Amino acid sequence: MSTIRIVEVGPRDGLQNERRVLGHQTRAELVRRLAAAGLREIEVGSMVRPDLVPQLADTDRVLADVADLSLDRSIVLVPNRRGLERALEAGAPAVAVFAAASDTFNRRNIGRSTEDALAEFAAVAAAALAAGVPVRGYASTIFGCPFEGAVTSAQVVPLVEAMLEMGCYEVSLGDTIGVGTPEQTHLLVEDVARAVGLERIAVHMHDTQGRGLINTLTALDLGVPAADTSVGGLGGCPFAGEGATGNLATESLVAALAQRGQAVDVDLAALTDTADWILRELAHDPT
């Protein structure tokens, strides 16, 4: 049975919309605890403007604080070429770029059309690869957009193809507002597989309607080798609606895989303790 890779996105995607802003020491401690629990690929932050996203300010200091960890990948999200420059200056081991399958979402979220976003990220990817830094891609709004409604695989597949062509080692398919079903997941994964295969595909399922786990397991059963999750279920899209839950909790996926005999090398007790700790730091009630 093939090993499932888990990409932990809590320190970036999980924290970016939180009301409470954590200092870089606490965010570095979160990365350290996640690594100690056995997670080997962690999205540690983003090089966005600190005045716009103060939750992710000082990502360069987080990187410095965790530089001694032996992770397979520490990933930093970069929104543009300036963000990449900052990531390279900080010694980021890997970077990520992101675009939505919905043109309106791109315009509202990053101020560019899909075409312009892909052109920008192609330049970012080329510069990163020239510097020896691998690039991950995120293709978001794979099932639905809060502005356009339903999104089809005919919109998603070309986006995935473009990201792979620009040199991304992997593209993560994101159900940004958490509206997908297992049936939709099955159909989209099949369409993506026909176009590009599944070796360089991951899934990033939000739990807005309580289907994050089943949608993720559906994709994994079809041969997708990796899944993004967030400790404590932190995160979620601000466009998903008031009170919407966030990402699929890492501990939920680890527990489900263990029950199915697909155990990953992660200490579930340590992971659960980490989830309780970070939820307390954020003034949430532990789940």
Concatenate the DSSP letters of all residues of 187-230 into one string.
HHHHHHHHHH-STTEEEEEB-TTS-HHHHHHHHHHTT--EEEEB
In a domain? residue 84: yes
176-197: pLDDT as tens digits: 999 999 999 999 999 999 999 9
CA 224/CA 220 separation, integer angstroms: 5
Closest CA to 44 of 4, 32, 54, 234: 32
Residue 1 has pLDDT above 80, yes or no: no
Question: Is 57 a residue whose pLDDT tops 60?
Answer: yes
* Residue 115 belongs to some domain of the structure: yes
- Three-state SS at 51: coil
- Is residue 287 included in any domain, yes or no? no
Q: 152 and 192 in contact (C-beta within 8 Å)?
A: no
Q: What b/e sequence results for 45-84 when a residue is b if at least 16 CB atoms lie within 10 Å of its CB, and e otherwise?
A: bbbbeeeebebbbbbbbbbebbeebebebbbbbbbbeebb
- What does residue 142 show for φ and ψ, rounded to 5 degrees? -70, -20
* 242/238 Cα distance (integer angstroms): 8
Cβ atoms of 247 and 233 within 8 Å: the answer is yes
The whole-model pTM stands at: 0.95
CATH of the domain at 98: 3.20.20.70
Alpha-carbon Rg of the chain, whole angstroms? 17
Whole-angstrom distance, CA of residue 7 vs CA of residue 227: 6
In a domain, 144, yes or no: yes
What is the distance between the alpha carbons of residues 147 and 144, in angstroms, rounded to a whole number? Answer: 9
Confidence tier at 3 by pLDDT (50, 70, 90)? confident
Residue 263: predicted pLDDT: 77
Q: Read off the tokens for 48.
A: 């966005």
Of 286 and 208, the structure prediction assigns the larger pLDDT to: 208
Q: Is residue 272 part of a domain?
A: yes
Of the residues 77, 237, 253, 275, only one is catalytic, namely 237
180 in a structural domain: yes
Counting Cα atoms < 13 Å in the Cβ hemisphere of 51 gives: 0
Residue 29 within a domain: yes
Number of separate domains in the chain: 1
Could you list the residue range(s) of the whole structural domain that residue 150 is in?
5-281
Structural domain contains residue 286: no
Is position 237 annotated as part of the catalytic site?
Answer: yes
- Each residue's pLDDT tens digit, 129-147: 999 999 999 999 999 998 9
